[in-house]
Structure 1
Amino acid sequence: MTLLQLQRFMKLTIGKSPLPIPNKRSRSGQKSFQRRAMKKKRIIRAQR
């Protein structure tokens, strides 16, 4: 289960890779995405 979730997480990160555009919107979106990624990583670590 953990490995499968990790693969899904990797696919999501590759799919939603933020483009290097110097905009306030993109930066704020990137921060929120990073927060989501950290939460997912924490969940995966907790399950292990």
Structure 2
Amino acid sequence: MKIYVNPTSITMVGKAWEIRAKLREYAKTYHTVADWRSDIHHLSTSDELKQD
């Protein structure tokens, strides 16, 4: 499974059961997908997330 994060969207590629499992995993931490997206974009602008 792959997750692509863009400034305006998140794209999840994989089998349906993999995507559902990943969404359930993220649901334990984030109440909505918008919360998850804003946190990901916050991390991508900080030093915590390094890009290759």
Could you say whether these structures have the same fold, taking a TM-score greater than 0.5 normalized by the shorter chain as the test?
no
- Give the TM-score of the pair, scaled to structure 2: 0.36
Greater share of strand residues, 1 or 2? 2
- Give the TM-score of the pair, scaled to structure 1: 0.38
Question: Which entry has the higher C-alpha Rg, 1 or 2?
Answer: 1
